[in-house]
Amino acid sequence: MSIHTEIKKVTTETLRKMKQKGEKITMLTAYDFTTAKMVDAGGVDTILVGDSAANVMAGYSTTLPITLDQMIYHAQSVVRGVQRALVIVDLPFGTYQSNPEKALESAIRIMKETDANAIKLEGGAEAADAIKKIVDAGIPVMGHLGLTPQSINQFGGYGLRAKEEAEAEKLIADALLLQAMGCFGVVLEKIPAALAQRVTAQLAIPTIGIGAGVHCDGQVLVYHDMVGMNEGFAPKFLRKYLNLYTEITGAVSTYVKDVKEQNFPSVSESY
């Protein structure tokens, strides 16, 4: 029997054992109670309350505007819908970059006010002081390297990262540093598959890929993208398992038609 099926509640230790056994880890985002309940029931191992909520829930073009209070609200909603999956919450932009004390305060608020299981933050050596402070306080931390969306203005776009050897070597060094500081895992976003394979082989902690090839220890997608709710968003790494945009707009159109033509509610739907 796989670890995935025998575990009643996924923990960071579960993920470590899955890597050791070569069992792939699954992760999806969720930002609300109803979605979290469905994603958890579907058997996903980890749920990320991502700062991508700024994009898919609030309509911003970047993840930068979302606040700590808003992330806490989303995380509270998600945790109430989850029984089994490990729930990880993003520290949003501006809550950990300025100093380690603020980083720890932000992480403590998330853990105390949401009952989530872990936090995630972006960056390698430049985030080291913040990560160490949080880990030393007993809070599980997942790292995030490669394309780090909170640095999008510095990058100048959402293109592939670490194509050149210098950036690739820094990413490997950062991944090893994150492990040494006690991170329980690391997200690798939009980097060459061969580099992700190198990093994964060198780490004892699991890697979770998005646009980073099949050799990562696990995969993550944004739920809204995976079920096809975002029309027109189709990066190379995305596989759409449904086309809910068409399904939902079609259902709404039918509802509008039924109401206009007095076909809804029917006699059987009236009191």
Q: How far, in Å, CA of 108 to CA of 101, rounded?
A: 11
Q: Residue 17: name the closest of 28, 3, 6 by CA.
A: 3
231 assigned to active site? no
Q: How far, in Å, CA of 235 to CA of 146, rounded?
A: 16
Whether residue 144 contacts residue 190, with contact meaning beta carbons closer than 8 Å, is answered with no
Measured in whole angstroms, the distance separating CA 186 from the mean position of its chain's CA atoms is: 11
Q: Residue 143: name the closest of 102, 181, 192, 106 by CA.
A: 181
Whether residue 119 contacts residue 163, with contact meaning beta carbons closer than 8 Å, is answered with no
Q: How far, in Å, CA of 62 to CA of 84, rounded?
A: 30
Residue 128: is it exposed, middle or buried by C-beta count within 10 angstroms (0-12/13-18/19+)?
middle
Set 6, 165, 189, 261: catalytic member: 189
Residue 149: is it exposed, middle or buried by C-beta count within 10 angstroms (0-12/13-18/19+)?
buried
CA atoms within 13 A of residue 26's CA, in its CB half-sphere: 14
* Active site residues per annotation: 189
